[in-house]
Amino acid sequence: MSKEGPNWDGLLKWSLAHSDGTRPNRNLSEEDRRWFMEAMQAQSVDVVKRMKEITQVMQTPEEVLETQGVNPEDIEDMLDELQEHVESIDMANDLHSIGGLLPLLGFLKNSHANIRAKAAEVVATIVQNNPRSQQMVMELNGLESLLLNFTSDPDVNARTKALGAISSLIRQNKTGIAAFRLANGYAGLRDALGSESVRFQRKALNLVHYLLRENTSDCHIVNELGFPCIMLHLASSDDAEVREAALCGLLELAKDKTGENGGGGLGEDDDDKLKQVLEERMKGISLLSPEDLGAAREERQLLDSLWNVCYKEPLSLREKGLVALPEEDAPPPDVASKHFEPPLRALSGRPAAESGPKTEEKSTPLLLSLGPAPSPDTRDVTSSSATDSTS
């Protein structure tokens, strides 16, 4: 095969010529068979073999890699490739079997911030919805390394990626949640909410919301650490996603029945501030254009729920008909059913004359061609950089 990759146009023409029904089936010649197999094999990758090669690189000391001409960008590209492979749960679990998970966690301590961030991103992919890999990372003390980066890494992107990995690691993982709580993880979340990074704030708020929803008993921890005041401030953020996430957290606190004031665990000062924030947001929403009003649907519904839980009275937006717009309550238009009617229903709805054989010429079916060949795999990091798979 040439270095430019297989001749996909030739392969497509060959396939169509031998499968369009215009000529009888015939046995492939040995030359045709060999050409076809080469075209297919040129695009296949032995993933486990490649992961073993990446593992060998990850196990090599950083100073040795530098002497071999491997730079940080090469490592980042290699981790990008690894992330593609571990998107498969089977491959994610196999990474530990071939010895690659431990050195990957070691990259969380790399001297380069981008590599620390990328390693955390790969860990997040490995453990997402994967109890087996979650357990393996916990057993290798991966949570401790991630918590260290989350709370004290000087690079905010590395901190954000570490928080994303922690979130994936402890979701649906009672052991992970307990360890996070014992490691004073809530204090780290509080600090993240005070960051100037909107992405960092979003991830922290989303994790707070998840933890409160899963463990209502944690509401008292959140209150003691001063979260309500911070979330009230973020509920007026210029970023819509931050506002919505802050309102979600406040709603969970408002639903908590263990608060001393019966108003969702909010103190009197916080309760007054909440009412002020909600009224300001309602005023702002009432002035939105119809287009912007549609985009604020989730925020409108959160305001309505929070107001109802805290004050047991109708929201002013509801009285104005702005909580649920008429077009939002209506079912979506049915634009496809007439094209995809079940055969019996389609026949029953047609006149008798239409049930006979048709003489119309059938339209030519759409042919899906194969895409262009990707560039050749030159991702041996000892000689060149690796190529490129949620917040």
**pLDDT for the residue numbered 324:** 59
Residue 264: pLDDT above 60?
no
Render the burial of 206-220: b for 16+ CB within 10 Å, e for the rest: bbbbbbbeeebebbe
Q: Please give the CATH architecture assigned to the domain spanning 49-183.
A: Alpha Horseshoe (1.25)
Query: What is d(CA 85, CA 8) in angstroms, rounded to the nearest whole number?
Result: 24
Instruction: Report the distance separating Cα 48 and Cα 95, nearest Å.
Output: 8
CB atoms within 10 A of CB 29: 9
* Residue 81 pLDDT exceeds 90: yes
- pLDDT tens, residue by residue, 225-245: 999 999 999 999 999 999 999
CB of 42 closer than 8 Å to CB of 82: no
Residue 23, CA distances (Å) to 18, 28, 35, 146 in order: 7, 14, 21, 62
Tokens of 171: 């979701």
Taking a C-beta distance cutoff of 8 angstroms, is the pair 51, 101 a contact? no
Give the C-alpha distances (Å, rounded to integers) separating 217 from 14, 170, 211, 308.
66, 17, 10, 22
The model's pTM:
0.71
Q: Where residue 208 falls among pLDDT bands split at 50, 70, 90?
A: very high
- pLDDT bin (cut points 50, 70, 90) of residue 335 is low
Residue 337 DSSP class: G
User: Dihedral of the CA atoms 17, 20, 23, 26 (nearest 10)?
Assistant: 70
Amino acid occupying residue 135: Q
Token code pair at residue 272: 């007054």
Handedness of CA 142, 148, 151, 154 (dihedral sign): negative
Separation of alpha carbons 89 and 79, rounded Å: 17
Instruction: Give the contacts of 83 (CB within 8 A, at least 6 positions apart).
Output: 118, 121, 122, 125, 389
Which phi and psi angles does 122 have, rounded to 5°?
Answer: -65, -40
Tell me the three state secondary structure of residue 276. helix
| Residue 94 and residue 135 in contact, taking contact as beta carbons nearer than 8 Å | no
pLDDT digits (tens, 9 = 90+) for 138-178: 999 999 999 999 999 999 999 999 999 999 999 999 999 99
Q: How far is CA 101 from CA 117, 168, 227, 239, 379, in A?
A: 16, 16, 35, 36, 20
The band of 213, judged by pLDDT with boundaries at 50, 70 and 90, is very high
